[in-house]
Amino acid sequence: MIPLEDALAAYGRTLRPLPAETVSTLTALGCVLAEPAHAATDLPRFAQSALDGYALRAADVAAATPSNPVRLPIALQVAASAQPVQPELPRASAARIFTGAMMPRGADAMIAQERAMLLDGELTFTAPFGAGRNVRQQAEELAKGTVLAGAGNRIGPGLLASLVNAEVQTVRVHRRPRIRVFVTGDEVRPAGSVLKPGEIHDSNGPLIAALLRSWGHDAPTAEHLPDDPDAVRAALAKAFDEADLVITAGGASVGDKDFLPAAAESLGVQRVFWKVAQKPAKPMFFGIRDDQTQQRAMLALPGNPGAVLIGMVLHARLVLSCLEGQRLPDLGWTTGVVDLEVERDEDRARLVRMGLRHDAQGVARLNPLPHQDSHMLSNLGRADVLVWVESGADNVAAGSVLRWIALPE
């Protein structure tokens, strides 16, 4: 039985990122960069007005005083729009200009309209006005060729907008994993079907699909496998020909009808670990089939839905991040204070579903929920976080600090 910390570390040690492909930036949301993305233009592309107001040459008003004001006629108007050529500002004049508009050639300052003094339609100054004021200079944010994000960064909405703004039309990203999902058990029937005595509805397939969708992946329909070793082996063989990651629920333990680990190993899957010191989801199997040109991963989860939840949120999420080439995958562990005493397990880390609130000082407060057994999911409507309780002999006292990650909403 491998410690939970070692199991989580094993994914980064054993998995290679999937090959890179070139995609349109507009379709790259959620993908991970395989190469640095460089700005294709200066930002701003040209000197711009930062406000609505008037553009001028600072030198034209350098001698302005209250007793000897300088008056500049308004020679042109420049809107934030396409310009056939860059407008040119005549000497000793000003331009009416709007936010984001191209600064006229020769203008090097801009006064906001609320601070401007107009007398008889002319811009009037009673003091000098410094060059550069209220002007967004070309390339002041970044210059063409600047690295916007390095390899291993996931493209979120903000980065995607930054790439588009910098005229990056395509990016090199790691291919999204192709995923196959299997749910095993002769007693399992699809949700909504009429059950016979001894049968149960499949909640694992919908749970896995919902989690995959929440992480931005295409969610394949879970395929049902009977408790038959030949059928299990045949389904896995086909899946390994088509998928980068195979996720299974059920059939991963040591019972007479738990065929998945043996079937996988018979197909060339090398076991990385089987059984993790965690509760729930101890009998978890992870293995890799690697033919040097292509790597396939298999994550076999126990069949109880609470165990499937743990396996997906802790383990499958890291597997996917590694396959996608994410730099230093991190589930986002943080800390909080538990409100009630929490039972420990002497040999295994417990993963406990809890509610979360923040007190008046902003401290995260963790509230343990009932119904934590691995076959139970009824508390998920109230569960906000998953809390890591280290193994040990003594219970965790109320007021102790524990690690937690957010559960998908």
30 and 152 assigned to the same domain: yes
Task: Look at residue 329 and tell me if it is in a domain.
Answer: no
pLDDT per residue as tens digits for the range 189-218:
888 888 888 888 889 999 999 999 999 998
Residue given tokens 């339609």 in the structure block: 121
27 and 63 assigned to the same domain: no
Residue type, 2: I
Q: Digits of tens for pLDDT over the chain (409 positions)?
A: 999 999 999 999 999 999 999 999 999 999 999 999 999 999 999 999 999 999 999 999 999 999 999 999 999 999 999 999 999 999 999 999 999 999 999 999 999 999 999 999 999 999 999 999 999 999 999 999 999 999 999 999 999 999 999 999 999 999 999 999 999 988 888 888 888 888 888 899 999 999 999 999 987 889 999 999 999 999 999 999 999 999 999 988 877 778 899 999 999 999 999 999 999 999 999 999 998 788 999 999 999 888 999 999 999 999 999 999 998 787 889 999 999 999 999 999 999 999 999 999 999 999 999 887 777 777 877 889 999 999 999 999 999 999 999 998 7
182 and 280 assigned to the same domain: yes
Residue given tokens 């790597």 in the structure block: 295
Q: What is the CATH number of the domain that holds 381?
A: 2.40.340.10
Task: Look at residue 328 and tell me if it is in a domain.
Answer: no
86 and 125 assigned to the same domain: yes
* 354 in Cβ contact with 371 (< 8 Å): no
Q: What is the CATH number of the domain that holds 150?
A: 3.90.105.10
31 and 166 assigned to the same domain: yes
Q: Which two tokens stand for residue 15?
A: 């998995």
32 and 166 assigned to the same domain: yes
Task: Look at residue 155 and tell me if it is in a domain.
Answer: yes
**φ, ψ for residue 355, nearest 5 deg:** -85, 160
Give dist(CA 375, CA 387) in Å, integer: 18
Q: Which two tokens stand for residue 186?
A: 């002769």
pLDDT per residue as tens digits for the range 77-125:
999 999 999 999 999 999 999 999 999 999 999 999 999 999 999 999 9
Give dist(CA 355, CA 307) in Å, integer: 19
193 and 318 assigned to the same domain: yes
74 and 165 assigned to the same domain: no
10 and 34 assigned to the same domain: no
Task: Look at residue 121 and tell me if it is in a domain.
Answer: yes
* 110 in Cβ contact with 54 (< 8 Å): yes
Task: Look at residue 101 and tell me if it is in a domain.
Answer: yes
Of 120, 153, 174, the one marking the end of a domain is: 174
Task: Look at residue 286 and tell me if it is in a domain.
Answer: yes
Of 290, 323, 356, the one marking the end of a domain is: 323
Of 174, 195, 230, the one marking the end of a domain is: 174
Give dist(CA 390, CA 395) in Å, integer: 10
370 and 300 assigned to the same domain: no
28 and 170 assigned to the same domain: yes
How far is CA 79 from each of CA 87, 91, 139, 403, rounded to the nearest angstrom? 11, 20, 21, 54
205 and 280 assigned to the same domain: yes
Q: What domain range is 346 assigned to?
A: 334-406
Q: What is the CATH number of the domain that holds 247?
A: 3.40.980.10
Give dist(CA 49, CA 30) in Å, integer: 34
Number of domains in the chain: 4
Task: Look at residue 131 and tell me if it is in a domain.
Answer: yes
Helices in 281-378 by DSSP H: which ranges?
Answer: 305-310, 317-323
Give dist(CA 353, CA 380) in Å, integer: 8
Task: Look at residue 294 and tell me if it is in a domain.
Answer: yes
